[in-house]
Amino acid sequence: MPARPPGRTTRRAPAVLLTLAAAALVPAAGASAAPDGPGEPRACKYDPRDVSACAPFACDPDVPDSTPVNLVAAGTPGFCGKCSNDRFCGGAMCRPDGRCSTYDASPVPTPVWPRFHLLVTNAAFNFLDATDPKPIVGVGYMFQGAFSKTEPRKFNQRGWYTPDVPRAYFNLAASVAFAGPAQNAFAEAGVTLYVPSAPVAITTLTLGAELQRQGASVWKVGNSSENEDRLGPSLSVGFLQNVFVRASYVFPLRGPNDHGALIVGVAYMKDLLGDLVPDRFQRFLPKPLQ
């Protein structure tokens, strides 16, 4: 068997060393190129309404520890890391291991038709009438319903909101009142516009028609000798959603007194069910009224 040339082994040795060195460097380079693992410092923008950037961890804003969490502004620079409170998790629970709990998918809310059952108390005076002005104090009921329904929209990954709260409502009301020895029954129909940006604490404007039945026996529908019926336009301005200044001018329709009247007064309205029925009893109400 021929002998191996002595110089060939010497020339292969540097090549083998280079191959081993390259193999040793490949894992080190791969480790340095790997992305940061969970919990490693990584820059982020704090936003309590969107915590997906660091999920399942939280974006810890770079602010002093004494800063109240409610005063940390959205967009504050921070770093991804373990959560310390529920707000940094966007309202979800901050678990003991420093991870944020995930929200269950919120079901799509059904559209809501805003409507109100209102108890109305009012005090008014009649002017420009055939008799001297007398106080008219009464109590009644008003139903108020919107002309449209709410349409919930997606707020973020956690819930929904309603941007289109109805502004226009229709009213149907009835009340009974007394003015000295006379009896009064009022019926009203109108349209209310909700105007929260109006000046001087004005919140609503209402335009409608009012029917007044006045006499000694207003319950007798066909009796026109003891009762008189008057009908006319009415205007109401609401303040702070509960107090209303109202004025109406009613024209004679039938009865012994062929004379109109200007009725000016103040009304106070309360939610008949929400304000007067305790919460623990509202579950006994019919479903449409709850």
For the chain, domains (ranges, CATH) are: 43-89 (no CATH), 115-289 (2.40.160)
Which amino acid belongs to residue 231?
A: L
Which amino acid belongs to residue 63?
A: V
- Assign 2 a pLDDT band (cuts: 50, 70, 90): very low
- Assign 151 a pLDDT band (cuts: 50, 70, 90): confident
Report H helices in the chain.
6-33, 279-282
Q: Among candidates 148, 123, 130, 83, which has minimal Cα distance to 264?
A: 123
Phi, then psi, of 216 in degrees rounded to 5:
-85, -20
102 against 234, higher pLDDT = 234
Distance CA 275, CA 282 (A): 11
pLDDT at 112 over 60: yes
Distance CA 39, CA 81 (A): 5
* CA atoms within a 13 Å half-sphere pointing along the CA-CB vector of 192: 27
- Assign 171 a pLDDT band (cuts: 50, 70, 90): very high
- Assign 179 a pLDDT band (cuts: 50, 70, 90): low
pLDDT at 35 over 50: no
Distance CA 79, CA 164 (A): 37
Which pLDDT belongs to residue 33?
37
The region of weakest confidence among 11-15, 28-32, 206-210, 266-270 is 28-32
Query: Mean pLDDT in the chain?
Result: 80
Tokens of 187: 């019926």
- C-alpha distances in Å from residue 285, one per residue of 100, 114, 272, 289: 40, 17, 12, 6
Tokens of 103: 């929200």
Which pLDDT belongs to residue 18?
46
- Assign 207 a pLDDT band (cuts: 50, 70, 90): very high
Over the stretch 40-50, which tens digit does the pLDDT of each residue have? 578 899 988 88
The region of weakest confidence among 31-40, 92-101, 153-162, 233-242 is 31-40
3-state secondary structure of 46: coil
Q: Could you check whether the bond before residue 111 is cis, i.e. omega within 30 degrees of 0? A: no
Ramachandran class of 128: left when φ > 0, alpha when ψ lies in -120 to 50, beta otherwise: left
Which pLDDT belongs to residue 1?
46
Over the stretch 74-89, which tens digit does the pLDDT of each residue have? 889 999 989 888 888 8
90 against 96, higher pLDDT = 96
Distance CA 274, CA 114 (A): 13
31 against 112, higher pLDDT = 112
The region of weakest confidence among 93-102, 221-230, 264-273, 279-288 is 279-288
Which pLDDT belongs to residue 288?
65
Rounded-to-10 torsion of CA 275, 277, 280, 283:
-110
